[in-house]
Amino acid sequence: MAEIEREAMEYDVVIVGAGPAGLSAAIRLKQLDADLNVVVLEKGSEVGAHILSGAVLDPSGLDALIPDWKEKGAPLNVPVKEDNFYALGPAGSVRIPNFPMPPLMNNHGNYIVSMGNVCRWMAEQAEELGVEIFPGMACSELVYGDNGEVKGVVAGVFGLEEDGSYGPNTEPGMELHGKYVFLSEGVRGSLSKEVIEKYGLQDGKDPQKFGIGMKEIWEIDPAKHKEGTVTHTMGWPLGSNAGGGSFIYHLDNNQVYVGFVVHLNYKNPHLFPYMEFQRFKHHPMVAELLRGGKRVAYGARAISEGGYQSMPKMVASGVALLGCSVGMVNVPRIKGNHNAMLSGIAAAEAAHKAIAEGRSGDELHDYEVDVRTGAIGKDLKKVRNVKPLWSKFGMVASLVFGGFDMWTNSLFGISLFGTLKHGKNDAEATEPASAHKPIDYPKPDGTLSFDRLTNVSFAMTNHEESQPCHLRLSDPMKPISDNLPMFDEPAQRYCPAGVYEIVEKDGKPEFVVNFQNCVHCKTCDIKDPAQNITWVTPQGGDGPNYPNM
Ligand SMILES: Cc1cc2nc3c(=O)[nH]c(=O)nc-3n(C[C@H](O)[C@H](O)[C@H](O)COP(=O)(O)OP(=O)(O)OC[C@H]3O[C@@H](n4cnc5c(N)ncnc54)[C@H](O)[C@@H]3O)c2cc1C
């Protein structure tokens, strides 16, 4: 193929992804020096369109970034008033009292927010400071300099032919060069994955671990709505099949966020995370809350769960990984937005100092030190054993030993366990289908529970059919030759958007990829046992269009 000619634009810092990490970095850079040229590129049709969190926001990141956020009208309108934690059985529930919980689990002082709306507001703040933000611009490639450093990205490629080649309607996009490139793509970012592999950034660290989080927004009967109430559950329906649990957050306007997370290190390939979520809503406690209401939105996104011991090295020449491109979620708290913001601030401060010293294209070592030894490292270190304890010994042990470990870490800064390892990655954790029983899931009733395709229509996702499939199979035969006989091809079940199907054609099984349904959760890139699926970014503007997720 002939070399593609592209225009190039020069910036001080190029930021990929307008989530809390990327926007915080942009804002801090301009706060430090109004003359810096900063650009943020976002693949969603608008800022917030691809943002999916619970979300209970710990405001410590925002406090550090914009201390007068309240006066500036930040959409943090619902303070947490009540915090409940339940262990569920099939028909009943046991409330776990708050007093044995370590203080870090307390949600007092936090806010129930739409992170999509928080990001929209942050983008306004950034633009007022002079940051250039381009939504609908997917960054599809990295640009490397002569010394092997990352010097920019390619963004804004549109209208490729179905086979990925350039045709008469292809817009080749442009190169955006920066003295530093920040990758704030969130969990399992496609460019971040390339950088981690190319520079060996995961070497010597534990593998990253993940969960799949699914979420619906419900409008419920005002008589049942309790603004500011946060409820978490564990136990049924997952039982011992997988780690995970639910969240139910009452925001304003009689709306409730109902969500479910399944840890992706589950062994049984028959497990169907989406159906576990649907089944969960039939628990009497949840059904009672939702009955008479209606689901108004649906979405899904992977969540990073490896924490402290899985954070890769986060800098290489010319590039820094921010937020969940590194994996900064505090798992027992299910919170990563505050750390994403703090990482944006830290990366901005390191880049500002480097640029002021006349540097460019090198490693922002100060950023890495800040993350590991500062507020983010401290937040994650205290809880580093909760996930490995759960994976090894199950939910009850993780509650007891994990709770004890969080107490000793919080009070004395020590752990009797040291730092436990995560072991295998989530793809390797999958065991043969023959070793496990199939799970019988009840049919969705269309009132409390819904089939996947109906729900996906509430994510308002869209991908132009004429575009190349952005879910690339290294070996197109593997799903049928390997995954189907060995694992009953779990892609049929782990994808929360029904992208992958096995259909029968001429009496033979065929693997179908309905990429139009994709909600950009990245689970396939993580969980495929053959590691045969690579999620690459489709053209800008494609994907979900979340309202106030
Ligand atoms: C179900 C669920 C519940 C959660 N609940 C909470 C909670 O209650 N509280 C909390 O604090 N945290 C919660 N989290 C974690 C939180 O969502 C993350 O920690 C946070 O989103 C990380 O922010 P980020 O900026 O790193 O990435 P993201 O918020 O994922 O933002 C990344 C942005 O980059 C864009 N992007 C990605 N790749 C490209 C590309 N190549 N080109 C252009 N744009 C790109 C994406 O479209 C997106 O807008 C939850 C996560 C999940 C999945």
Question: Which pLDDT does position 2 carry in this prediction?
Answer: 58
- pLDDT at position 378: 96
Q: Tens of pLDDT along 409-423?
A: 888 888 889 999 999
Q: Distance from the CA of 323 to the center of ligand 1, in angstroms? A: 8
Burial of 146: CB neighbours in 10 Å, binned 0-12, 13-18, 19+: exposed
Residue 1 predicted with pLDDT over 60: no
- Say if strands 8-16 and 174-183 run parallel, antiparallel, or are unpaired: parallel
Q: Which amino acid appears at position 260 of this protein? A: F
DSSP of 163-230, one letter per residue?
TS---TT-B--EEEEEEEEEE---TT-HHHHHHHHHTTTTTTSPPP-EEEEEEEEEE--GGG--TTEE
Could you read off the pLDDT of 223-254 as tens digits, one per residue? 999 999 999 999 999 998 999 999 999 999 99
What pLDDT does residue 103 have? 84
pLDDT of residue 399: 81
For atom 19 of ligand 1, which residue has the closest CA?
336
The answer to whether 16 and 191 are in contact (CB under 8 A) is yes
Residue type, 405: D
**Tokens read off for 279:** 């089944």
- pLDDT, mean over the chain: 96
- Measured CA to CA, the distance from residue 370 to residue 380 in angstroms comes to 13
Find the mean pLDDT for residues 107-126: 97
Report the pLDDT averaged over residues 358-362: 98
Per-residue pLDDT, 414? 87
Ligand 1 close to Cβ of residue 201 (< 6 A)? no
Q: What is the DSSP letter of 43?
A: S
Residue 179 reports pLDDT greater than 60: yes
| pLDDT at 520 (0 to 100) | 98
Q: Which token pair is 435?
A: 């070793």
Mean pLDDT of 45-54: 96
pLDDT at 393: 86
For ligand 1, whether the C-beta of 135 sits within 6 Å is: no
Q: Which of 337, 343, 535 most suits a substitution to test ligand 1, by most atoms within 8 Å of the C-beta?
A: 337
Q: What is the Å distance from ligand 1's center to 18 Cα?
A: 9
Q: At residue 157, does pLDDT exceed 70?
A: yes
- Measure the CA–CA gap between 294 and 112, rounded to whole angstroms: 20
Q: Is the pLDDT of residue 50 over 80?
A: yes
Q: Give, using CA atoms, the residue closest to atom 41 of ligand 1.
A: 139
- Atom 35 of ligand 1 has which residue's CA nearest to it? 17
* Main-chain phi, psi angles of 64, to 5 degrees: -75, -30
The alpha carbon of 292 and the centre of ligand 1 are apart by a number of angstroms equal to: 31
Ligand 1 mutation pick, 175, 324, 328, 461, max ligand atoms within 8 A of CB: 324
Q: What is the 3-state secondary structure (H, E, C) of 5-33?
A: CCCEEEEEEEEECCCHHHHHHHHHHHHHC
**Is residue 537 in contact with ligand 1, taking CB distance under 6 Å?**
yes
Q: Where do we find the tokens 């109004």?
A: 34
Report whether residue 60 contacts ligand 1, using a CB cutoff of 6 Å: no
Q: Which residues contact 404 (CB under 8 A, 6 or more apart)?
A: none
Q: How far is CA 387 from the centre of its chain?
A: 17
DSSP assigned state of 356:
H
End-to-end Cα separation, the chain, in angstroms: 41
**Ligand 1 pocket, 114 CB below 6 A?**
no
Residues in contact with 369: Cβ distance below 8 Å, sequence separation at least 6, in sequence order: none
Query: Which pLDDT belongs to residue 410?
Result: 87
What pLDDT does residue 4 have?
A: 80
Q: Mapped to the 3 state alphabet, what secondary structure does 96-149 carry?
A: CCCCCCCHHHCCCCCEECCHHHHHHHHHHHHHHCCCEEEECCCEEEEEECCCCC
Instruction: Please give the number of the atom of ligand 1 that sits closest to the Cα of 186.
Output: 27
In this structure, which residue's CA is closest to atom 13 in ligand 1?
335
Cis peptide before 237 (omega within 30 of 0): yes
Q: How does pLDDT run across 486-517, given as a tens digit for each residue?
A: 999 999 999 999 999 999 999 999 999 999 99
Task: Using the mean position of ligand 1's atoms as its centre, give its distance from the Cα of residue 324 in Å.
Answer: 7
- Whether 44 is in the pocket of ligand 1, judged by its Cβ within 6 Å, is yes
Cα of 21 from ligand 1 centre, angstroms: 8
Closest CA to 13 of 5, 22, 1, 21: 22
- pLDDT per position as a tens digit, 73-102: 999 999 999 999 999 999 999 998 888 888
How much of the chain exceeds pLDDT 70, in percent? Answer: 100
Write the residue with the smallest CA distance to atom 31 of ligand 1: 19
Chain centroid, CA 40 distance in Å: 19
**Half-sphere exposure (CA, 13 Å, Cβ side) for 390?**
28
Is the Cβ atom of 470 under 6 angstroms away from ligand 1? no
pLDDT band at 394 (very low <50, low <70, confident <90, very high): confident
Q: Which two tokens stand for residue 304?
A: 């990073």
Q: What angle do CA 254, 260, 266 make, to 5 degrees?
A: 180
pTM for this predicted structure: 0.97
Q: At a CB cut-off of 8 Å and minimum separation 6, what does 226 contact?
A: 81, 82, 250
